[in-house]
Structure 1
Amino acid sequence: MDPEIQSRYARSFSGHLYAMATDRYVPLRLSTRRDKWHWGITPQDDWLMAGGDQASIRLDFTFDSSTQDRLHHHISLSGPAQPPKKLGLSLNGYLGFYQRAEVTDYWKIEPLELTEHGLICYLRDHQGYRAGAIADTPHHSRHPMYLINTKEGETLTFLLQQAA
């Protein structure tokens, strides 16, 4: 692994993840009960989604370990929630934040390129599956919205920016 990536990202920090599209960085957000997924169900709060026009949510990345080509972090929502809401997987592969259910598995960040804007990377679950996007259309906000899943969907490339 590149020594600069190792020194900057092989530690704990707060930051933001953006899904990368051809012409922009797409912010990540949490679902709310106002969302209605395209297959007709109303989700609970705190499923991870990409889309919209607000800033990407702030996340805490707690360093666990690394390998030659991966950084392992536990990811949680920044903020006062105690215990913190940790990023985990539903039984069908959707990414969401859990406070009551115990999340013990780390996430693998696969660095692709370090840029002036941050680290371009893949996000993988503990088994190595890449996070992908499933279009949620139509969405009430009229913005393109995507659900994040490790078992299906188009593989996403992310931009990881550390908070100042």
Structure 2
Amino acid sequence: MFREVPVLPVVIPVAVVVLLALVWHLHRRNLLTAARFTVAVALCVYAAGVIANTVFPIFLDMPARDMPWHSALVLVPLADYEIVDAVMNIVIFVPVGMLVPLLVARASWWRVVGVGAFFSLAIEVSQFVTAHLLGGGHIADVNDLLSNTVGGALGFALFSAALRVPGVAAFADRFRWAEPDRPR
């Protein structure tokens, strides 16, 4: 058994620092309300959970591996990709599609998909780097990137559909960090 970098002592302090920065950002712009604070907490908890489950474990004393650079990388889409993994990755990224429209003023479909893809790419790159440099236990997979991006788009579609329900748009506006761009 290999010793691991402990997850919680790393992820929790980082999440708290990010939360404090977000609260400071809202306070500085006179936007701090209980609803917006709730979004900041949800964002930090969500991001911490995703990072804890996608970047970790990182092994401290794993023996040196003589492996080619591409052994921790899957670049062929849909090859040996299990449907359970695809569904899990889609579901895990649905919150991205719901949080982005609360955080940015012009949350178009393309912007939300771009943020989801960028966040997923950052995870996959960190998995690749940790696998080679830090003894990480994950493989960077283009299928995860694609599924995560679909999840973000699905989250945005669900959020957009919910805004069409009477009263939901006004309720959601209380949680927004910027004024939405939509016809009135």
* Coarse TM-score class (shorter-chain normalised): under 0.3
Structure showing the higher helix proportion among its residues: 2
Point out which structure has higher relative CO (alpha carbons under 8 A, 6+ apart): 2
- When normalised by structure 2's length, the TM-score is 0.21
Structure showing the higher strand proportion among its residues: 1
Query: In terms of Rg, which structure is larger?
Result: 2
